[in-house]
Amino acid sequence: MRGLDESTEVFLRTGQKAQEQVRHAWGGFINFAARDNVLEVALANAFTKVVTSFVSDLVLPIVSLLPFLNRNMDEKFAVLSKGPNYDQQYGYNTLYQAREDGALVLAYGLFIETVLNFLGVSLTLYAVGHLYMLIFHDKVIKPTVRCPYCKQYIGKSALRCRHCSSWQDGREDEPRSDESSREELPNAEASSVREVI
């Protein structure tokens, strides 16, 4: 049974090497996917489709049931300028019909739907970011503040502004404390005036 033991050992070593290679490849993929904003970019399109479907197919039909709305939000529009085939009695039934007739329309329903889609995508990405931080303990969403000097957004824990290089602890607002630098300034100005004269 000696041959059986050797083949089992070879089989186990091969399995361990394969397992290490799979772990290494998986770790490399996770490092690639979680780096910079690759994960966000890759998933943004999928999130957009899901949230758009949620808003268009679930939320807006329920909103359309309100008594003062008698049709879907995407079909809410106002005719600003009538087309040549405008029916005086019934008007246009759909936004598509109005646009095909060449009418100038204000499609406020589509705008409301787009705003709701944007809010849904934004809130979903924010929730996924928080979930990621909760699971992996990695700061993805970093709080920001405005630099008091250049008014650009910087990280809350930043010591210096990356835009204007000013210190954020207020040391640039304090007057100079050493007397020698104050005395040197007037003397330097006086000597430069003498040189000009």
Judge if 110 and 164 occupy the same domain.
no
Give the per-residue pLDDT at 9: 80
Using CA atoms in the order 7, 9, 12, 16, what is the torsion angle rounded to 10 degrees? Answer: -130
Domain that holds residue 152: 143-168
Which is more confidently placed, 84 or 3? 84
Average pLDDT over residues 6-29: 81
Judge if 32 and 54 occupy the same domain.
yes
Task: Report d(CA 108, CA 77) in Å as an integer.
Answer: 6
Which is more confidently placed, 82 or 72? 82
Inter-helix orientation angle 2-33/38-54, to 10°? 70
Q: pLDDT for 129-166, tens place per residue?
A: 888 888 888 777 778 888 888 888 888 888 888 888 88
What does DSSP say about strands 153-155 and 144-146: parallel, antiparallel, or unpaired?
antiparallel
Judge if 125 and 147 occupy the same domain.
no
Task: Report d(CA 149, CA 163) in Å as an integer.
Answer: 10
Judge if 121 and 90 occupy the same domain.
yes
Kindly tell me the sign of the dihedral angle through the C-alpha atoms of 123, 127, 132, 134: positive
Cβ–Cβ under 8 Å, residues 108 and 79 = no
Please give the model's pTM, rounded to 2 decimal places.
Answer: 0.53
Average pLDDT over residues 75-103: 89
How many structural domains are present in the chain? 2
Whether 5 is in a domain gets the answer no
Q: What is the mean pLDDT of the chain?
A: 77
